[in-house]
A and B are shown apart, each in its own frame.
Chain A
């Protein structure tokens, strides 16, 4: 029988279907057993079915489906083109009256059918479930079409990637491994390079734009298709990617010398790329391994780079030669070492001026200060401080950090526990951002940090309460600590006054109050209506002990007594002097601490104790307190020498 058209050969397609339909069948079973079958077993329980169905349909919540969408097309792609990797079959098949294009097209078409059928049947089943069993409201018919589209794209991407690697490798195992590596390469390599820069460059801030817009999305497996909305442009890219993989693979098939079956890498031109690619990746892995495993010491970092690179080079050489006798073939390693050495010298001596770069004040449009920074938040103008003094404080802080580089870098990394992120949006539209981990002491002692914290603009940026339209607030709930009472405020005027009081308190707050180690009196739930989202959003500000405006307002409205724990809720308090006590680390086992103690029942004193105890940090604790509540709860806190009330200090 002649081929039907000049693009395909029916005989090949039929043989492929006959030989490999089992993979499609297994895929179908896998899909069914990881989802729809449960809907049918548990048919009475509609709620369970609904939530199960919703999880199943959003692929990113259902990790099995992603694994299937990698495994099955990978296996299929490896098996379908297995004939090319064996000397006898490649000879036999290519002596048959086909052209390579026909072989290639037919195999790809047959595989596409094998993958399509299980997915499509499952899609039909889901449609029946949607129409017949599903009673929820969160899924629409469009979501099921979306499931089909996403699953097909995932499968075909993995399949064609495996076909592509099959063309460049002559060994099925290497083909499969390369396929997996290539699928994860954009994300993995970007991440590794950024981690390396982070260990090497003082102040390096990860470029989230590259990660989010490129590394995560360029290959569909790693994320672009997940989430609520899929960008149609992204879909176009994924389809383009499929076309590119198809055409490149076909081109390579035509260029491939069949005698290279069983060669690790078929094309000579790719061998150095493979070799140095592996060397580069394992160099970075080695460096990171040593820098994390040993210390943040540059000698070990470079040692790790060298060992990693050497290891990778030898492994790559072994793979290419398919022989373990590669130790004497290291002359190609020398140029790599030189190039890498040059590169690291440039980075380490900061010849590109990354570490010392400070923008000029008059170039800056706005500045950002926080714990983390990313391009997205810098581009959002509402996070930028535009106040000139504010910008100067941030610049000065930045300069101080740069000037103290060696001191910071010489501090053990576990003591550098305070993150500072600084960002600038320049007038020319470009962005500069840095992230540092500094010792807590340096953070606390820096005068500019206090000034930045106390900036009105900074406070407005960092408290979402300033961005809520009080008219949209439906309800405010006050949840006092250690109490089961909930106070609800729903009167519109009261809501407005409440919010105004909190805002005033925040604006009056000092740096010390902002960084207090005290618990708040209460957490406040502010529920409001958002036009965009259907569910009720909420912000949760605190009622700090320093908030006088709010305190007065609550007193005025008569909510005060119930909105916090007051001395009236407390039976008595016990304070112990724990200086030099033995099992001080286990402060929550208060009763077992043997030391001088005092019991307090006086309400005024209890109020003083309540207002001053701390419980967020375990450093410097000298006195411990336990309040025994009437509702049988306990509050445990402590005092340092500075904040302990005098009547305690004087008696124990």
Chain B
């Protein structure tokens, strides 16, 4: 659905994107995570046809995005820094969107009016930033996008509105198989909604994965043995992290869950608990193992 291949982008001499690859399957919600300056917004501006890449391909729905009216009219984009025409009311903006987006759905626009509860005749630039973001969600959802690209979308929204917005997005994905890409620097925020995650750092895509697969592949285990910790285990299992708390060991282990449990059981543990792992922890241990200082990236 969204496919980015070997994307390079230079800002002057600075390489902002370095051989970035990205794949978002249809109907999925993809979380793009990374610290400030990682290149998330730059990548997104390529996805929306704003920036022209130096190398590589950016395709949505199988077509190149840049200068492609057909594809761009199917993309709903919420940028990080909003822009509305000066002096325009929500109604004015809506009629503009109506003119330029061929799939504009008036019925949905009217329906969403009740969700957002903002006076249509207010000038958009007079609204607060959070309100403006809601207006843009309202407009964007009304163009019936096949793809939604959201750059830090819930920044500045109050918790109630966050929930509403998430619901709208999830609903849309469920009903219309919309493909969604959301960027955020906050992994926790995306954990409950995304099914795919890509992590960027310094212009590179560090890792891209299906969350369920990822979660089923890394396990947090509390274990205690009567005697000392069997040294053989270090060789038999891929232990990403090991910490001793009294007589109990806390381990992060990568691999098939059943295989891991059976391996531990071979040495007759006194305690063996498999604990839930947060997405954050998955990345920290997964990437920490790979040699990255991932703790600095995810917070």
Q: Do A and B bind each other?
A: yes
Interfacial residues, chain A to chain B (CB-CB below 8 A) = 1-3, 9-12, 14-15, 19, 86-100, 102, 257-259, 268
A3-B69, A96-B72 known; A91-B100 Cβ under 8 A: no
Check A91 against B72 for contact (C-beta < 8 Å).
Answer: no
Check A97 against B50 for contact (C-beta < 8 Å).
Answer: no
A97-B72, A97-B101, A258-B51 known; A91-B45 Cβ under 8 A: yes
19 contacts between A and B (CB under 8 A): A1-B99, A10-B99, A14-B99, A87-B81, A88-B81, A88-B83, A91-B50, A92-B83, A94-B50, A95-B49, A95-B75, A97-B72, A97-B73, A97-B101, A98-B72, A98-B100, A100-B67, A258-B50, A259-B11
> Dominant SS at the A interface?
helix
Interfacial residues, chain B to chain A (CB-CB below 8 A) = 11-12, 42, 45, 48-52, 67, 69-70, 72-73, 75, 77, 79, 81-83, 85-87, 96, 98-102
- For the complex, what is the distance from the CA of A96 to the CA of B67, rounded to whole Å? 10
- Residue of B with least CB distance to A10: B99
Check B67 against A95 for contact (C-beta < 8 Å).
Answer: no
- For the complex, what is the distance from the CA of A258 to the CA of B86, rounded to whole Å? 21
Check B85 against A19 for contact (C-beta < 8 Å).
Answer: yes
Residue among A88, A89, A95 having the largest count of chain B Cβ atoms under 10 Å: A95
Check A92 against B102 for contact (C-beta < 8 Å).
Answer: no
- Chain A residues within an 8 Å CB radius of B96: 11, 15
- For the complex, what is the distance from the CA of A569 to the CA of B72, rounded to whole Å? 97
- For the complex, what is the distance from the CA of A580 to the CA of B117, rounded to whole Å? 100
- For the complex, what is the distance from the CA of A194 to the CA of B68, rounded to whole Å? 51
Check B82 against A88 for contact (C-beta < 8 Å).
Answer: yes
Measured between C-beta atoms, what is the minimum distance from A96 to chain B in Å? 6
- Residue of A with least CB distance to B87: A19
Check B50 against A95 for contact (C-beta < 8 Å).
Answer: yes
A10-B99, A15-B96, A259-B11 known; A95-B81 Cβ under 8 A: no
- Chain B residues within an 8 Å CB radius of A86: 83
Check A11 against B79 for contact (C-beta < 8 Å).
Answer: no
- Chain A residues within an 8 Å CB radius of B69: 3, 97-99, 102
Check A91 against B73 for contact (C-beta < 8 Å).
Answer: no
- For the complex, what is the distance from the CA of A12 to the CA of B99, rounded to whole Å? 9
A92-B82, A97-B100 known; A268-B12 Cβ under 8 A: yes
- Chain B residues within an 8 Å CB radius of A89: 83
Residue among A91, A99, A259 having the largest count of chain B Cβ atoms under 10 Å: A91
Check A95 against B100 for contact (C-beta < 8 Å).
Answer: no
Check A88 against B100 for contact (C-beta < 8 Å).
Answer: no
- Chain B residues within an 8 Å CB radius of A11: 96, 99-100
- Residue of A with least CB distance to B136: A92
- Chain B residues within an 8 Å CB radius of A91: 45, 48, 50, 79, 81, 83
- Chain B residues within an 8 Å CB radius of A92: 79, 82-83
Measured between C-beta atoms, what is the minimum distance from A496 to chain B in Å? 79
Measured between C-beta atoms, what is the minimum distance from A16 to chain B in Å? 10
A11-B96, A15-B96, A99-B69 known; A94-B82 Cβ under 8 A: no
- For the complex, what is the distance from the CA of A559 to the CA of B161, rounded to whole Å? 108
- Chain A residues within an 8 Å CB radius of B48: 91, 94-95
Contact of A95 (CB < 8 Å), options: B70, B77, B86:
B77
- For the complex, what is the distance from the CA of A12 to the CA of B101, rounded to whole Å? 12
Measured between C-beta atoms, what is the minimum distance from B221 to chain A in Å? 46
Measured between C-beta atoms, what is the minimum distance from A166 to chain B in Å? 18
- For the complex, what is the distance from the CA of A87 to the CA of B48, rounded to whole Å? 15
- For the complex, what is the distance from the CA of A102 to the CA of B102, rounded to whole Å? 16
Measured between C-beta atoms, what is the minimum distance from B91 to chain A in Å? 13
- Residue of B with least CB distance to A268: B12
- Residue of B with least CB distance to A100: B67
- For the complex, what is the distance from the CA of A257 to the CA of B66, rounded to whole Å? 12
- Residue of B with least CB distance to A255: B52
Check B67 against A99 for contact (C-beta < 8 Å).
Answer: yes
Measured between C-beta atoms, what is the minimum distance from B179 to chain A in Å? 16
- Residue of B with least CB distance to A12: B100
Please list the 3 inter-chain residue pairs (A to B) with the smallest Cβ-Cβ separation, ordered nearest first. A97-B73, A11-B99, A92-B83
- For the complex, what is the distance from the CA of A11 to the CA of B87, rounded to whole Å? 17
Measured between C-beta atoms, what is the minimum distance from A330 to chain B in Å? 20
- Residue of B with least CB distance to A98: B69
Known interface pairs A95-B50, A97-B72; 15 further A-B residue pairs with C-beta atoms within 8 A, sorted by A's residue number: A1-B100, A3-B69, A11-B96, A11-B100, A15-B96, A19-B87, A87-B81, A89-B83, A91-B83, A94-B49, A94-B50, A95-B48, A97-B70, A98-B72, A258-B45
- Chain B residues within an 8 Å CB radius of A94: 48-50
Measured between C-beta atoms, what is the minimum distance from A85 to chain B in Å? 12
- For the complex, what is the distance from the CA of A98 to the CA of B49, rounded to whole Å? 10
- Chain A residues within an 8 Å CB radius of B86: 19
- For the complex, what is the distance from the CA of A47 to the CA of B11, rounded to whole Å? 66
- Chain B residues within an 8 Å CB radius of A100: 67
- Chain B residues within an 8 Å CB radius of A10: 99
- Chain A residues within an 8 Å CB radius of B102: 1-2
Measured between C-beta atoms, what is the minimum distance from B286 to chain A in Å? 32
Measured between C-beta atoms, what is the minimum distance from B105 to chain A in Å? 14
- For the complex, what is the distance from the CA of A3 to the CA of B69, rounded to whole Å? 10
Check A9 against B81 for contact (C-beta < 8 Å).
Answer: no
- For the complex, what is the distance from the CA of A97 to the CA of B100, rounded to whole Å? 7
- For the complex, what is the distance from the CA of A98 to the CA of B102, rounded to whole Å? 12
- For the complex, what is the distance from the CA of A15 to the CA of B98, rounded to whole Å? 12
Contact of A259 (CB < 8 Å), options: B51, B81, B85, B87:
B51
- Residue of A with least CB distance to B42: A259
- Chain B residues within an 8 Å CB radius of A98: 69, 72, 100
- For the complex, what is the distance from the CA of A88 to the CA of B73, rounded to whole Å? 19
- Residue of B with least CB distance to A82: B86
- Chain A residues within an 8 Å CB radius of B12: 268
- Chain A residues within an 8 Å CB radius of B72: 95-98
- Chain A residues within an 8 Å CB radius of B49: 94-95
- Residue of B with least CB distance to A101: B67
- For the complex, what is the distance from the CA of A121 to the CA of B69, rounded to whole Å? 37
A1-B99, A1-B100, A15-B96 known; A257-B83 Cβ under 8 A: no
- For the complex, what is the distance from the CA of A86 to the CA of B98, rounded to whole Å? 24
- Residue of B with least CB distance to A2: B102
- Chain A residues within an 8 Å CB radius of B101: 97
- Chain A residues within an 8 Å CB radius of B70: 97
- Chain A residues within an 8 Å CB radius of B81: 87-88, 91
Measured between C-beta atoms, what is the minimum distance from B5 to chain A in Å? 20
Measured between C-beta atoms, what is the minimum distance from A274 to chain B in Å? 16
- Chain B residues within an 8 Å CB radius of A15: 85, 96
